[in-house]
Amino acid sequence: MREQWVDTDALTLSALTSEHDIGAMEAPIIALHGWLDNAASLVPVLEHLPATTHWIALDLPGHGHSQHRPTGAPYYFTEWVADLISLITRYDFQRVHLVGHSMGGFISQILAAVIPERIAKVTLIEAFGLLTYDENETLEKLRGAMTARQALAAKEPPVYQDIERLVKVRAELNQLRPEQIKAVVLRNLMPAEGGFAWRIDPRVRLGSPFRYTAGQARDILAGLTMPVKLIRGTKGFKDLDTALTHWRELVPQLEEYMLEGGHHVHLEQPIAVAEQIAI
């Protein structure tokens, strides 16, 4: 594994990769982590793939070692999709295999629908469908997002001294063992006066003022014409049942695979997940 830097039209992003130079990769796996995670979340899986596999585990903007968006630039799903389109076209990647966990899976579905000619297949880990609002929730969610944005602007970022405590708390939150999530926590921390602070852009924590309606989601998901595999944990997100009921018929090549585990099943069973990705 090595760390490499990639440029998009707007930002420089950090990535943990296979030993191949990014510029020489062919038909790569591009792996996208979940909300408040980073590239280290998917490395345990990717390292179990055949040695000849070309893979790129990105730190999405605002996460890990990647740049933050400039002041005033939002962290909307469409902006992450634009970053990835820029990366894929800049390096002229073809036959890309997208692997996305949770938020990274939602981004992967939009990206694959927008540029299907570049995407060979999609593997989703604990993600299917899109996050939606009912039309009659629009004003309520917009008010809440604006209030949260104002509150964040007045908040000082916290500083921590006990890293092991942070790891323990995060492990308990995600029902994992500390050693399974430690690399992710460490990659999201940086030295600060008096201890350590989060590298994560605090704006990433803000709820979006906009989401797709159910009808818009159907239109996007109908664009997933390539093979799509959904890997679920037996104790993962139950909302996936509802999403599958609503949208399964829109994705004709959808395959489901269940593994014992929770929402971070890829950290609990990296070898089994790698086997499914490699098929």
What is the C-alpha to C-alpha distance for residues 186 and 164, in angstroms, rounded to an integer? 10
pLDDT value at 155 more than 90: no
What is the C-alpha to C-alpha distance for residues 220 and 243, in angstroms, rounded to an integer? 14
183 belongs to a structural domain? no
Domain that holds residue 270: 2-156+209-278
pLDDT category, 279, cuts 50, 70, 90? Answer: confident
234 belongs to a structural domain? yes
- pLDDT of amino acid 208: 87
pLDDT, average across residues 128-136: 91
204 belongs to a structural domain? no
109 belongs to a structural domain? yes
Task: Work out the mean pLDDT of the chain and round it to a whole number.
Answer: 96
pLDDT value at 19 more than 90: yes
Residue type, 42: L
Total domains in the fold of the chain: 1
pLDDT, average across residues 36-49: 98
Helix (H) or strand (E) holding 70: none
pLDDT, average across residues 7-17: 95
251 belongs to a structural domain? yes
Q: What percent of the chain has pLDDT over 70?
A: 100
Least confident of 31-45, 148-162, 242-256, 259-273: 148-162
What are the angstrom distances between the C-alpha of 227 and each of 16, 80, 109, 230, 270? 25, 22, 11, 10, 21
Nearest to 274 by CA among 26, 116, 51, 119: 51
192 belongs to a structural domain? no
Nearest to 272 by CA among 229, 243, 220, 221: 229
196 belongs to a structural domain? no
pLDDT category, 196, cuts 50, 70, 90? Answer: very high
Which two structure tokens, joined as six digits, stand for 160? 């921590």
Segment 99-124, tens digit of pLDDT: 999 999 999 999 999 999 999 999 99
168 belongs to a structural domain? no
CATH code assigned at 43 = 3.40.50.1820
